[in-house]
Structure 1
Amino acid sequence: MPRIAEAAERLGNDALVFAVLRALTVVGGMAALFVAPPRAEHALHVTPLLAGVVVYKLAVLAVLGLWPERARQIFLATLASDLGVVFLLVWFTGGGESHFYLLFYLLVALHAYHFGPGLGVLAAVLASVLLAVANALASPAIPLLHVGSRAAVLGARARAEQLNRNMEAAMARLARAEQLAAVGRLSAKMAHEVRSPLGAINLNVDLLGDIVRTCPGPEMSEADELLRAIRDEVHALAELTEEYLVAARLPRPRREKESLNELAAELVAFLRPVADRQGVTIALELDDGLPPVVCDRVMVRQALRNLVKNALEMLPRGGRVGIATGAAADAAVIAVTDDGPGVSPEVRPHIFEPFFTTKDRGTGLGLSIAREIARQHGGDLTWAEPAGGGTRFSLRLALDGGIRG
């Protein structure tokens, strides 16, 4: 039983349900022959055929348990066998007079739902041919036009259902995009309004700090520590407001030839004290042969900073962040890798979605801004899960900055 449970888990719920339903369709149809007796000339073959089908279906399930990663190939390879079994059922029970032709509909519908309308139409064509042959063998008077019309209707229905599902998914994405746009406009307005008060607070904190430093005493030393804490919080709020403003209206890149190696080294030097306080190691690996890149230095630095900050926030003490530069075709790549817990399956579809975050603090805009900056430079931002665990983000930038002459 544990092995069966493990195999079912590896196979996945969708594939397992599909396999069981397909097996029940064929085996159930064969078993129904005892309720709807076949023609006398075929009665002798019913019992051995049913036993053979049961063994065949059990063998298919066993193969799926051994190689769940090849479920698609196994299902496709055995589709013809299942259609052949239904063909025998229809033939044995009178061809066009048999009600078992409905099993063709069920098999076609199952495959169209699981694999899409393309395979559904192909299965419908095969089913129509087999039904025509069964009719010809059992009762040659059955017109082929009736068979073809049934297959055409079934294929059209499968296609219509797929189009309807695609339309519903597109409408959901459009509604989500409109919601995010409204939230973005509101966030930008709020950030703009907060910017001036933050500047005033920061200025007053600096003035108070100057006064406190001129007054001796233990109380003044404590006051200086409090002012430093206030200054840090104001700085954090200023970064948040700036992130909202950038997300709402990303500036046009001001491109110049830049060295990504120098940019990465400067950013690591800037963030290393933060990493040291967290007990996290930052490792830098530079490609000495990397050519200059035409880019906006400030924007690319912000994108890289977002990636490194994101890694630092996810790592516990003792963690490691790796930053490496390299070349790929007509592009330069900066890879940021961490050995953290990685990205959970439920988070992966939303990883670049604006305002989506799993952290207690933050805007959820860092990765979406970084990807938009990469795309403005003729590249993209992608993520992967390294073999040893963790996460790798690859920031790809076209060497010409995305300029097309």
Structure 2
Amino acid sequence: MASEARRAAATLASGLALTVGGGLFVLAWHAGLYASAAGALLVVLWIAGASGWAVLHRPRAGGAAPAEALDPLSMRLLLDQVPVPLVHLEAGGARALNRAARALFAADERIVPVPPALADRAARRLHHEGRGWRIDAVEGRAGDRLIALVDVEAEERAAQDRAADEMIDILGHELLNGLSPIVSLADSAITAAAAGHEALPDILATLSRRIEGLEGFTRAYRTLARLPDPVRAPVRVAELADDWARLFAARFGPATRLTVEDVPRGVVTVDRDQLTQAVWALLQNGAEATGKGGEVTLRMTAPAGALVILVGDGGAGIPAAERARIFRPFHTTKPGGSGIGLSLARRIARSHGGDVTLEDTRATWFRLSVAA
């Protein structure tokens, strides 16, 4: 009777876990949180597979369990295939159940110390190693909890990138369709006006040049949506710093000074052209913010497997209300600005396994990091 009760409780718990996991999968899918949906689906499949295995290998009445019953090593190998970090929280502490959790907490099995957010049953977010995680938990017997950690920042970044891609592609397509016939008509008008009206050809020629400029501007927007994958090659960090200093001097001359600090020795493997484009957007942004007579600072570090670039300026700083919007495509506070420089820099950094962030300081400092 006791064994039957345990099997009934296990069946009920499996059914509940499958229901919760299925609900999380549906909600995440409808919300466009595809990483969460994939994680929930994998957890559901794991529970279903484990339950099915248990049913097929259930000991017969009066007999011993079959020799091929699922052993702990097989269960661990199965859990290791789940990309979502899984944690078992119990009275004695917390255990990492799979490879993703062991990598996140740098633990073989026991997680020491246990992050307070994991122990707090009311907590729904965990901030660990500079990243944000959503806590999805299933309650077990005797106060145990099975916790799945979902990378919130990865979800948000994927959603932002998808929205930006769609918006940029639609804008580029619509504007190009409207500008192409205008350019053709303007050229025809110039030819026709050559026979008569003296001022008309000059006016139309100016109009044609302006429209061609807008067409090129629109193509730049489309470039943001169709950024190619980086083509990495080894390059010395000092060469990159020299290139950027020369570009800055050629563009801004002696009116704005660039100070280059802490250039590390060594070689990094990056897409040189793309990285230059990203850093140039930050340098140009700093030069325009500080104005003539000002100074822009470029600092570089090369920790193991990465390159970190800091760009600061002596301008008035970015207002608090603008700090959350500066990386949005098309957003700009500068007259005549395109609003794609910082967006493009961030996309390039992320395609290199890094990011571009605005440091939480009174002075304006942008931090660009890439995996190198």
Bigger radius of gyration, 1 or 2? Answer: 1
TM-score between the two structures when normalised by the length of structure 2: 0.46
More helix by share: 1
TM-score between the two structures when normalised by the length of structure 1: 0.42
